[in-house]
Structure 1
Amino acid sequence: MSQDDGGGQQEAGLTTGEVARRLGVAPTTVRSWDRRYGLGPAGRVGGRHRRWTPADVALLERMCALTATGVPPAEAARAVLGAPPPVSSPRPQPADAPPEPPASGASRAHAGMRLGDARHECRGLARAALRLDAVALDELLNSAVETYGLVDAWQEIVMPTLQAVGRKWETSGERYVEVEHFLSWHVACALRRAAPPVADGLPGGTVLLACVPGENHTLPLEALSAALAQRRVAVRMFGAALPVEALVEAVRRTGPAVVGLWAQSRTTASRPLAQHVAGMSWGVRGSRRQATVMTLGPGWAGKAVGGALRPPGLAEAVDAVETRVRG
């Protein structure tokens, strides 16, 4: 529920757009459920504009929970409103048929994400991802970036949701892999939409970003690349699992101010590789230059590299790079 400056709830209630963002659905979906199934707000402002109370939102949350498990919307609406199901003859079952699974309790247990006290935007993203709702997911991601800025949206909304989906996959016996892939793809697209094109600046003022060999988790690097682009810092992004020889050649050819190396796992983080890149130099004799190496990701924990930067998060990484490039 929206709150005023004194901490009290606004009597007018939430708008349809606010409810949609909280639930992780498109506003058109909320309006459709109102029109088709009577899941609308009890009150309206001026007789026209919908204003949703906590009780109204609670009904929609139950609707989302049911449809996320595959229950058809019409059937879910009947369950939410307490209406009896349509009368139909039971389908004949073979004598040796296995018993029917529980109606919805077990299915709903699989649908929940462990988001704890995460902000409501995280829950909205998780619900949209579970439903594989591409339209709602894009709207929610775009809204988060526009409302909070790319860095805050990544740290406070996107990352907690990605981590919750990852935990769900790890604890569900290989289930929900499609949800993780679906969410990751849409996050990557949102990051690229948010990144303006940036022309190369002064020689030695660019940034090279790459995952170390054997590392395929690129989303955090894509977030850094997009955030730097918004600061008008030129970035060359090489993505997943860049081979050692290719990394060395890319550094020699581009002469970057900063080389960011991402490692998700300790097994892929290579201290000798980071030291080698930090020791590389180029340019004419008497004015040779070197790049500042920035070790990124949890894989570098405990693997200090002399002279390398080790920012703890996206905001710190962006500030460190900008200082090095412009300083």
Structure 2
Amino acid sequence: MGQDVRRGGGLTTGEVARRLGVAPTTIRTWDHRYGLGPDDRAGGTHRRWTVTDVARLERMCALTATGLPPAEAARVARGDVAQARAGSARPGRPARPAGGLRLGDARQECKGVARAALRLDAAALDALLQAAMEKHGLVAAWTEVIMPTLQAVGRKWETSGDRYVEVEHFLSWHVSGALRRGAPPAAAGRPRATTLLACVPGENHTLPLEVLAAALAERGLPVRMFGAALPAESLVAAVRRTGPAVVGLWAQSRSTASRPLAQHVAAMEWGVRGARGKPVVLTLGPGWAGRTVPDLPRPPGLAEAVAAVESAVSR
């Protein structure tokens, strides 16, 4: 079948879905809603996805996994792939300025943040991050300024043979500090109103959870943040002790995303007989792609995660 597909000029939708770890219906939705379908729509109903088509979808997956709203992610994905193709089509003309970061159509503030990070200028970077959060609010600052800059640094690292690793670490550290400085004091825990956030065992990527914790605190919602690689038994103990309305479990990679753990937490109950409660468990992060847990929501981005928490707490 693979040979037939290659002779037919690309991959089928099902093969692309398996390669990306998403459902075929997701790919069809991205096609119909955001125009991320194959460039060549000829050849009847059996579409074939080329290398360029799949690159757009891979970019879409990466962007939505880090919190960018789907419509904005699709716009950036289309632009990035088109820019890459245009650059490769012009011999002798680089796709982006030498030494700079490719930031696409992100806000102008990204360029200042990127320059400060490249210079390892701590004072300037802190000032720019604070200004972005004050100007746009935390959710918009993350999705439109901070995250695109982090992604640009990551791309620079990937294409530069492990150079710029120090820039990524430097930027991440200062973003984490800016989130903590800008967040209001922790709200007092209320019965069945607290949100518990933790990385699953073996997972050490905490920055997206720190952003969510800060966004919830900004809205006056009580949060208990447990950070990286919380052991399963400790997670269960924390849930029992706090009786949270919501438990957010972050998994950056599929190897750490544990369906049994998520299902076990979702089944936990507490309270007096006749009025027992259960938490709403949110599976957060790209590690859950292709490992969706039935009946457990998987918000695609920061704004959706905040809305899911607010909805659960209000109930």
TM-score surpassing 0.5? yes
Q: Deviations over 1:7-44 (max 9, x none)?
A: xxxxxxxxxxxxxxxxxxxxxxxxxxxxxxxxxxxxxx
Match of 1:49 in 2: none
Match of 1:175 in 2: 163
Contact 2:187/2:223 (CA < 8 Å) preserved in 1? no
- 1:195 aligned residue: 183
CA contact (8 A) 2:183 2:214 kept: yes
How far off its partner does 1:110 sit?
Answer: 5.9
**Residue 287 (structure 1) shift:** 2.1
> Which one has the bigger helix percentage?
2
Q: How far is 1:286 from its partner?
A: 2.5
1:28-47 equivalences in 2 (<5 Å): none
Tell me how far apart the structure 2 counterparts of residues 130 and 290 of structure 1 sit (CA, whole Å): 46
| Aligned partner of residue 111 in structure 1, secondary structure | coil
Shift of 1:268: 1.1
Say whether the 8 Å CA contact 2:199–2:251 is kept in structure 1. Answer: yes
Instruction: Give the aligned partner of residue 154 of structure 1.
Output: 142
Partners in 1 of 2:107 and 2:113 — Cα distance?
11
- Report the TM-score when normalising by structure 1: 0.65
- One-letter identity of the residue aligned with 1:181: H
Deviations 1:299-319 (A, max 9, x none): 111222122121111111111
Per the TM alignment, residue 326 of structure 1 is displaced from its structure 2 partner at its CA by 2.0
Alpha carbons of structure 1 residues 199 and 120: separation in structure 2 relative to 1, 3 Å: closer
Q: Which residue identity is paired with 1:118?
A: A
Gaps of 5+ in 2: 1-93
The aligned counterpart of 2:301 is 313
Identity %: 74
Equivalent residue number for residue 224 of structure 2: 236
Aligned residues: 221
- 1:109 Cα deviation from its structure 2 partner: 6.4
Q: Which amino acid aligns with 1:203?
A: P
> What CA deviation, in whole Å up to 9, does each residue of 1:262-287 have, x standing for no partner?
11111111111111111111223322
Structure 1 residues 1-327: aligned runs within 5 Å: 111-327=99-315
CA contact (8 A) 1:195 1:230 kept: yes
AA paired with 2:192?
G
Q: Which has the larger radius of gyration?
A: 1
Q: Taking structure 2 as the reference length, what is the TM-score of the superposition?
A: 0.68
Q: For the Cα contact (< 8 Å) 1:111–1:130, is it kept in 2? A: no
Amino acid at match of 1:220: P
Q: CA deviation at 1:163?
A: 1.0
Give ranges in structure 1 of 5+ residues lacking alignment.
1-105
How far, CA to CA, are the matches of 2:140 and 2:167 in structure 1? Answer: 23
Structure 1, residues 235-290: CA drift from partner, whole Å, max 9, x if none?
A: 00000111111111111111100000011111111111111111111223322211
Write the letter of the residue equivalent to 2:227: G
1:65-121 superposed Cα distances (whole Å, 9 cap, x missing partner) = xxxxxxxxxxxxxxxxxxxxxxxxxxxxxxxxxxxxxxxxx9x96622121222211
Q: Which contiguous aligned blocks of 4+ residues in structure 1 show a shift greater than 6 angstroms?
A: none
Amino acid at match of 2:160: S
Higher RCO (C-alpha 8 Å, min separation 6): 2
